[in-house]
Amino acid sequence: MYRRNPGGLSRRDFLKSAGAMAGGLAASSALPFASLAQSDMSGALQWNTNHNTLSVNDFKIVIENFNEEYPNIDINLINSGDASLYYTQINTAGVGGTLPDLFYVRSFDAAPFGARGWITPLNDLMERDGMDLSDFWPAQVAQNSYQGQLMTLPYDFSNVAIYYNKTMFDEVGVPYPTNDWTWDDCFEIAAAFKDGEPGDQTRWGVELWTWAWMMMGLLHAGGGATFSEDNRSCIVNNPENVATLKRIQEEIAAGNAVHRGMTPAGLDPFLTGNIAMEVQGSWSAFYMLDGIGDSFEWDIVKLPRGSTGLTSVSAAGGAWGIATNTEDLDVAWEFCKYITNTESTNILISNNLRSVPGRLSSVPRWEEVAGTDIWKGRYVQVFPEQMLNDAINWSYPVFMGEYDAAWNARIIGVFEGNDPEEALAQIEEEANAAAARYFEDE
Amino acid sequence: MFNSDLLRREAIQGYLFILPWFVGFVVFTAGPLTAALGFSFTDWNGVSALEWIGFENYIQLSQDSRFWQSLKVTLVFTFFYLILNLIIGFALALVMNQPAPGMRLFRTIYYLPAVLSGVAVAVLWSFLFHREFGALNWLLGFIGIKRIGWIVSESWALPSIIIMELWRVGSTIIIFLAGLQGIPPELYEAAEVDGANRRWRLWSITIPLMSPTIFFVLIVGFINSMQVFTQAYIMTRGGPNYATFFYSINLYQTTFRELRLGYASAQAGVLFVIIFIITLCILWVSRYRVNYELV
């Protein structure tokens, strides 16, 4: 089975070590002239991102900071907010050999981009500069690697938990969920919030997203695997996964659960008070805070345990890759290191709790912000805690994109009543056809 | 001598005038088309070396269930959309051709959806089609029809996209209106004097004289329908369960997601051939059905 993150490491131990690491980094940065001197390095870089306006503002701050140390390096930031458009641009540029010097790469893309030779392996550069991997999440290092080489430097690392509407719980008279709950408990609680009959409902108990990578964790909690251990084939069609999907299907049919396709497009039904609980990512906490405002009280709870007794959180993140076609690798590497150092990660992620930082040494700052009044004691710490204790330490296969497409094409049908076994068989067949294309030359 | 020089100069000038178009055509149309044809015989992902594989891509296409599904979806959409678009467009154009008060406003309102971007229309209709909160199901509820899962239901997803596209019938109406207003009124007057009623006038004058316009709408509509992409991509991404997996979505996915550029070129080539052959068939039929006498 898949390796899990070290379960023996408690949150306190983790924070202690992360704090020590942060202290070490701070001390090293205080060395005379080590990082304060301006560098003579010069050049121009194209940096492409796939983020929202708030993040872009932070990117600009980091560029300004970088230019204080590297005044002769011009950074041209181009952001494509739309993910589909962004990946079309990246794929087209990749084929054309005109990729931006530095660009955003998700966990799912590290292996395929590496296989296509689009991003520069970083091991030699890291060794040259004495960087090690101990400050990154082990699971993310695994996801960002291809054939033993780290392909990208981490930006953030995300996982999912359940956001719940405390006001709605109070109104219905249901006790708040606790971290030791199971999916059975979750669906049982969800039934209390059902308003109307299936097909004519305006309120549901819990909303499930259908993302392939997130569902991999849910399937794992039910005892089912998605890919073979060597990530060379898809094995999603197994009795455990069929049972998990049937269970979800039943809950949707009963009106207790809902999938995103059933709720209004463009609106978050959790924000509008149409659902009591929502499976949502660590990246959403900041937007929940802003979007919900004083409309209702809310909190976050761990993802429930599945039939195996495991919570099995699937994690994925964002990172920065250096294009192999870059004309100035040293400059790109210097900038890549800069935007992923602890200080920049604090600015980009931890200062606003935008997901979980990609660096462990940024977690203390993250914890500090999470403890401020603005968060009203909400349990946002669930995300780094899940990352430590419940995240599955897996990486994604090179054919993840094709698996994702096959999954997305079928899963709504399953949630709407199609036979899960048949759908999983088709998904498996399509994913394996893609896998065969990747491995046919070996 | 003089004539010959003049003719030569005129010829050179003529060639110079068409040169920008010709260069554009070669560089942006003929060149890529020829290249795509060549790529279709290769295994190439844009990064690897081109590997000549003969007709392998075409053989694989014939065994590819996604190819057949996308072709089926596209042809079914094209068939129903074209027929309904012609009938509804023509009927509304006939109504709008009447000299009634407020008709200009009526025409403008009908044309408005045609000027909206495909993405905006798709997002708007996603709301309207929503099973629980959509206006469409809310209205149907008044006549006792149960909520329909328009775009999340395998059986309704494709009809939903046809309905949405028909909402943009305004552009067809405008073309038909132009055609209708080009019919000489004397013909109707003469027919009326001869005792022809409305139906006879429609069958004997309007439709025959409108046949070139109908033919034009048919050809253009057919070619566009075979390439539908935006609306389905925004609303359903080809789902659920490939129910709206149009040929162009398949092509896009193969090209930009899977980077199978050789295979995608074969898909594009097949689409080109299908459109070309069906267009030729329509043109052949038009020789017997289209009346150009008064055009």
**How do the domains of chain A map onto residue ranges?**
11-158+315-389, 160-314+399-439
Tokens of B61: 């296409």
Nearest CA-CA distance, residue A202 and chain B, Å: 7
Asked if domains A11-158+315-389 and A160-314+399-439 share a fold, the reply is yes
How many interchain CB pairs under 8 A, A with B? 86
Chain A residues inside the 8 Å CB shell of B259: 91, 94-95, 116
With contacts defined as CB-CB under 8 Å, which chain A residues touch B154? 413, 416, 418
Residue A32: pLDDT above 70? Answer: no
A394 min Cα distance to partner chain B (Å): 22
Which of A238-247, A259-268, B59-68, B234-243 bottoms out in mean pLDDT, i.e. has the lowest?
A: A259-268
Q: How far is CA A344 from the centre of its chain?
A: 19
Q: Which residue has the higher pLDDT, A33 or A300?
A: A300
What was the pLDDT predicted at A196? Answer: 80
- Select from B127, B130, B256 the Cβ nearest to the Cβ of A88: B256
User: Each residue of B160-181: pLDDT tens digit?
Assistant: 999 999 999 999 999 999 999 9
Residue A20 confidence (pLDDT) above 60: no
Identify the residue with better confidence: A395 or A239: A239
The answer to whether the CB atoms of B149 and A416 lie below 8 A apart is: yes
> Nearest-CA residue of chain A relative to B65?
A430
| pLDDT (0 to 100) of residue A73 | 95
Q: In the predicted model, what is the mean pLDDT of chain A?
A: 88
Q: Are residues A303 and A215 in contact, defined by beta-carbon separation less than 8 angstroms? A: no
Looking at domain A160-314+399-439, its CATH architecture is: 3-Layer(aba) Sandwich (3.40)
Q: What is the DSSP letter of A158?
A: E
CA distance A65 to chain B (A): 36
Are residues A408 and B237, on separate chains, in Cβ contact within 8 Å?
Answer: yes
Closest by Cβ to B126, choosing from A117, A202, A265: A265
**Nearest Cβ partner for A416 among B123, B146, B153:** B153
A362 band by pLDDT with thresholds 50, 70 and 90:
very high
Return the pLDDT at B175. 94
**Predicted local distance difference test score (pLDDT) of residue A11:** 47
- B240 touching chain A per CB within 8 A: yes
Facing A264 at nearest CB: one of B133, B149, B239: B133
Residue owning tokens 């952001």: A79
ipTM of the complex: 0.75
Does B154 lie at the interface with A, CB-CB under 8 angstroms?
yes
Could you give the CA distance from residue A322 to residue B221 in angstroms, rounded to a whole number?
45
- Is pLDDT above 60 for A18? no
Residue A264's pLDDT band, with cuts at 50, 70 and 90, is low
pLDDT at A261: 67
Q: Is the pLDDT of residue A368 over 60?
A: yes
User: Quick check: A29 pLDDT over 80?
Assistant: no
pLDDT tens-digit readout, A296-331: 999 999 999 999 999 999 999 999 999 999 999 999
**Mind giving me the DSSP string for A376-437?**
TT--TTHHHHHHHHTBB-----TTHHHHHHHHHHHHHHHHTT--HHHHHHHHHHHHHHHHHH
Judge: B240–A409 Cβ closer than 8 Å, yes or no. yes
pLDDT at A14 over 70: no
For the residues B3-29, what does the mean pLDDT come to? 92
At B183-221, the pLDDT tens digits run 888 988 999 898 888 888 998 899 999 999 999 999 999
CATH ID of A11-158+315-389, from 3.40.190.10, 3.90.1150.10, 1.10.10.410, 3.40.50.740:
3.40.190.10
Query: Chain B partners of A92 at a C-beta cutoff of 8 Å?
Result: 256
Band of the pLDDT at A352, cuts 50, 70, 90?
confident
Which of these, A269, A285, A218, A268, lies nearest to A245 by C-alpha position? A218
pLDDT of residue A90: 93
- The 10 Å Cβ neighbour count of residue A429 is 14
User: Lowest mean pLDDT: which of A318-322, A367-371, B129-133?
Assistant: B129-133
pTM for this entry? 0.83
Residues in chain A closer than 8 A to B151 (CB atoms): 261
Reported as a pLDDT band with limits 50, 70 and 90, residue A8 is: very low
Q: Which strand (E) or helix (H) includes residue A356?
A: strand A356-357
